[in-house]
Structure 1
Amino acid sequence: MISVEDALARIFDLTSPTDIETVPLALAAGRVLAEPAVARRDQPPFDASAMDGYALKSVEADVDAQFMVIGTSAAGHGFDGKVGPGQTVRIFTGAPMPQGADRVVLQEDVTVSGNLITLNHGLDAGPHVRPSGADFKVGDQLDAPRLLSAGIAHLGQGGSFLERRTEQPGSGQEAPNCSSASDDEPGRAQR
């Protein structure tokens, strides 16, 4: 019997790399990354709400505490002001946390009366905030070779990652044997 490493070496000796072409990551699902892809920004790019609810100062989050709702923060349209004492901002999942707030109280844990909310009994510990860079940070790298799944498309949105060299998977093509593109040059994909 031969080792796994020897078996793989014998298989890869029978293959040759395919051509390389440039593709955006949004179209790279099912391909194999032929060189590393490096994050150019943090994701999320700001502290973001992980739940629908109310953003406020965690030190004020006591049962029966009341807060004045002073605005709304939604994904794509954050709240421009600052949360002060006794204030809260209605917030939705994925929205940027307003300045001055460090916790989201779930909408199910409040009673709303006009522009006032009251925190209910059974309040959880929170904070329900995704910190900036929780998914990945500038400089994080996807190493090659790597089979890219359908989830890779979101990394290509908003220019989070550079376009990178990929190759179509097949008989042994997962072992890239190609030169790398510079950081200033988009990659190419193998087909």
Structure 2
Amino acid sequence: MIDVEAHRERILSATPTLPSESVSLHDALGRALAAPVATRWPVPLFDNSAMDGYAVRAQDAVAGASLRVVADIPAGSDADPPLAPGESARIMTGAPVPSDADAIVPLEATDLGTQVREHAPERVTVLAAPTPGAHVRRRGGDAPEGTEVVAPGADLDARALSTIASAGYDRVEAHRPARVAILSTGSELIAPSATPRRGQIPESNSVLLSAAVREAGAHVPSVLTIPDDPDALRAALGTIDADVLILSGGASVGAFDVVKAVLSADGIRFDSVAMQPGKPQGFGTRADGALVFCLPGNPVSVAVSFEMFVRPALRRLAGFSVIDRRRLTLPARQSWTTPPGRTQVLPVVIDGGGVRPSAAGGSGSHLVASLARAEAFAVIPADVERVEEGDHVTVMMLS
């Protein structure tokens, strides 16, 4: 057997980064940024008010002072009214602060309060004196012109896209997401809604993998279910145009494991990985450059194999700087056994700040009901013989 890290490194060393393209911000959600984004101008662009209130000269705005209101400045205005001693301007949040003002007195700190008025009053009395600079957002206070605000490899989520728009762009250079074909193999597989005969089971791996691939930021152009027939598998493989192929089932040493039989002849390497579940693994590159992952058939094995090996590769392909799930160290809330000499990847639930197995039946690869309850995978090193209650374990969070 090879260890988990050796198999992972072999995969990642063969995984390139896909090309980038210019896309609108509205189409960039979920992609990885390919080139740094720097501000085209200072953010904010100008000194502006952080409050609805009155722009004043702080030295004039002592408590009890009555100031003449000489201007009304709404957001979007380009007005810059002069303010003589004893004068103020009513101002709205986001509006440019007059050059002669150095502070804002909020509405609630005046005798007029927050009552809505269509027109500015003639005078206003200050109830609480502001300090110089109070409630003024300074030009460039968030980011000076030319500041890098989003780095290459960043996940273009809603917050990153908002920052890029504020920096002055409506398009961005982003990596193309991977196109992933999913093939579930097995003559025992039937549609989930069908009624199984003896020996048949609902096909769930393609559902799991399709969702997991999309969650990882990739696209799924094709999903196929194929019986244990070498000719049918070869025919299906010949129709696929994708960056990645993920096959589940038929990767072990059984007499009917056609995935291994067919793809070994195409140069795909099959290994026994020191991991439970998910010992049988296949990986390689097709002649067209597509990455090929051959996973076991049991659903928990598929889920574990995807998280440990496939997802990091999809993230690398898509150009993300962070390719791994967040990991924490948490105490075990109960004891459980571990497989000798193999890394255990166990579905767990978070319980009072610690973790416990999500399945009462242990860590079998067939315990599919445990997946719905799992909030994380506990990753137990191969040299740990048993996890005792209170032991600290590494946990890979699933969200």
Letter in 2 for 1:117: V
CA distances 1:58-111 after superposition (whole Å, capped 9, x unpaired) = 112211001111111121114332122111111111110012001000100101
Q: Aligned residue for 2:140? A: 133
The alignment's C-alpha RMSD in Å is: 3.0
Alignment check: 8 A CA contact 1:71 1:79 kept: no
Give TM-score scaled by structure 2 length: 0.39
Cα 1:156/1:139, change in 2 over 3 Å = same
Contact 1:20 1:166 in 2 (8 A): yes
Q: 2:169 and 2:65 mapped to 1: Cα distance?
A: 43
Q: 2:168 aligns with which of 160, 166, 181?
A: 160
Q: Is 1:98 aligned to residue 98 of structure 2?
A: yes
Letter in 2 for 1:173: L
Q: Give yes or no for contact 1:38–1:162 (8 Å, CA) kept in 2.
A: no
Offset from partner CA, 1:36-63 (integer Å, 9 cap, x none): 1121111111001011100001112211
Residue matched to 2:226? none
Q: Which runs of 5+ in 2 are unaligned?
A: 113-119, 178-216, 219-313, 321-399
SS in 1 for 2:45: coil
Cα offset, 1:13, TM superposition? 2.4
Q: Counterparts of 1:84 and 1:102 in 2: how far apart (Å)? A: 13
Aligned partners of 1:24 and 1:156 also within 8 Å: no
Secondary structure of 1:147's aligned partner: coil
Give the distance between the partners of 2:22 and 2:166, measured in 1 at CA.
18
2: CA distance, partners of 1:71 / 1:139: 34
Counterpart in the other structure of 2:74? 74
CA distance in 2, matches of 1:165, 1:29: 12
Pair 133,59 (structure 1): closer, same or farther in 2 beyond 3 Å: same
Q: 1:78 to 1:145 in 2, by over 3 A?
A: same
After superposition, the Cα gap between the structure-2 partners of 1:14 and 1:111, relative to the gap in structure 1 and judged at 3 Å, is same
Matched length: 174
Q: Percent identity?
A: 30
Distance 1:68 1:99 in 2: 17
Once the two structures are superposed, the pairs formed by residues 1-191 of structure 1 within 5 Å of their partners are 12-112=12-112, 114-120=121-127, 122-123=128-129, 125=131, 127-141=134-148, 142-157=150-165, 160-161=168-169, 163-167=171-175, 168=177, 169-170=217-218, 171=314, 172-175=316-319
Change in 2 beyond 3 A, CA 1:80/1:124: closer
Residue 56 of structure 1 contacts residue 101 of structure 1 at CA under 8 Å; is this kept in 2?
Answer: yes
Distance 1:123 1:174, change over 3 A: farther
SS in 1 for 2:18: coil
Question: In 2 relative to 1, CA 143–162 (structure 1 residues): closer, same or farther, beyond 3 Å?
Answer: farther
CA change 1:19–1:57 in 2 (3 A) is same
User: Are the aligned partners of 2:110 and 2:126 in contact in 1 as well (CA < 8 Å)?
Assistant: yes
- Partners of 1:38 and 1:164 lie apart in 2 by 11
User: How far did 1:8 drift?
Assistant: 7.6
Cα contact 1:25–1:164 (8 A) shared by 2: yes
CA–CA distance in structure 2, aligned partners of residues 7 and 73 of structure 1 = 64
User: What residue identity is the alignment partner of 1:74?
Assistant: P
Bigger CA drift: 74-83 or 98-107? Answer: 74-83
Rg bigger for which structure? 2
Q: Compare relative contact order (CA 8 Å, sep 6+) and give the higher one, 1 or 2.
A: 1
1:20 Cα deviation from its structure 2 partner: 2.0
Secondary structure of 1:104 counterpart: strand
Which structure 1 segments of 5+ residues have no match?
Answer: 177-191
Q: Secondary structure at the match of 1:55?
A: strand
